[in-house]
């Protein structure tokens, strides 16, 4: 996520698995995913968290702008980033793209783009451990096409069709957002024989759709191979873990890559 925002790694390759790397992860989790708000001191905790997040994002923005002298040009990737794009928009529309607005956008995407992926990875590993034959097949596919001498990257994903099947089947059984984000009808309409007045709040039950026996064979069973014969793009109205249409999750592609890479890394220890 920090590469998307600022063109830099959150943890450098040589720090992964080290005490330094673990400390960085701990500090970031403390900033963005801190628990303990159900206390008498919740107001002070929120104020403290806000300051920590604000300071963290200010460093990222200063790095991109080149205002932070602690970072040389060689440490920044020479490519477009989300912060760079938002800062360029700030030049033309300063009242809309304020510093606070930019930080808020990054915060929402950072939280939504990490916790959701983590939950999906947890479910994937849970069902794989309950289905050792699928885990064995996945490990064999990874070992044959990638190996375990390096981390997975985007170019490897096309070589791992069963991994994508595992991810899709996990999202089918355990969608991260079982009830998709609410929508509002812009005009009176009729759907499936039901009259829906204008300005009605609508919720889509993705969990029920994904387990509908009229749409899926053995819907309660974990069968990743079912997606070998399914073109997900054509199953939009029965497989909707990211929603569908103009309001679908804009981070779907990145989420699938994050989950796939995470599962591969964990599989290497089994």
Enumerate the known binding-site residues for heme: 249
Residues annotated in the binding site, as ranges?
Answer: 249
Rounded to whole angstroms, the Cα distance separating 10 from 28 reads: 9
262 closest CA partner among 178, 173, 167, 172: 167
Rounded to whole angstroms, the Cα distance separating 206 from 217 reads: 17
What residue spans of the chain are helical by DSSP H? Answer: 2-6, 19-32, 42-65, 82-92, 99-112, 115-130, 132-145, 161-173, 206-210, 252-267
Question: 195 — phi, psi (to 5°)?
Answer: -85, 125
The three state secondary structure string of 200-263 is CEECCEHHHHHCCCCCCCCCCCCCHHHHHHCCHHHCCCCCCCCCCHHHCCCCHHHHHHHHHHHH
Q: Which two tokens stand for residue 16?
A: 């992964």
Length of the chain (residues): 270
């Amino acid at each position: 996520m920090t590469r998307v925002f600022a063109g830099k790694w959150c943890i450098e390759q040589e720090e992964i698995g080290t005490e330094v790397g673990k400390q960085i992860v701990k500090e970031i989790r403390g900033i963005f995913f801190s628990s303990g708000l159900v206390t008498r001191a919740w107001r002070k905790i929120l104020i403290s968290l806000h300051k920590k997040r604000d300071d963290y994002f200010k460093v990222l923005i200063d790095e991109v702008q080149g205002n932070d002298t602690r970072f040389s040009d060689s440490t920044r990737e020479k490519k477009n980033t989300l912060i760079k794009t938002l800062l360029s928009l700030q030049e033309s529309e300063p009242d809309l793209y304020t510093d606070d607005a930019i930080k808020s956008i990054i915060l929402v995407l950072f939280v939504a783009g990490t916790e959701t992926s983590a939950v999906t990875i947890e479910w994937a590993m849970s069902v794989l451990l309950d289905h050792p034959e699928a885990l064995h097949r996945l490990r064999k596919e990874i070992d044959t096409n990638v190996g375990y001498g390096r981390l997975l990257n985007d170019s490897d994903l096309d070589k791992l069709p069963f991994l994508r099947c595992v991810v899709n089947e996990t999202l089918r059984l355990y969608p991260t957002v079982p009830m998709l984000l609410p929508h509002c009808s812009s005009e009176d309409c009729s759907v499936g024989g039901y009259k829906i007045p204008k300005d009605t709040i609508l919720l889509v039950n993705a969990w029920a759709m994904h387990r509908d026996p009229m749409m899926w064979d053995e819907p309660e069973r974990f069968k990743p191979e079912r997606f070998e014969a399914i073109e997900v793009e054509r199953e939009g109205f029965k497989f909707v873990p990211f929603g569908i249409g103009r309001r679908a999750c804009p981070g779907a592609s990145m989420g699938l890559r994050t989950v796939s890479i995470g599962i591969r890394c964990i599989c290497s220890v089994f």
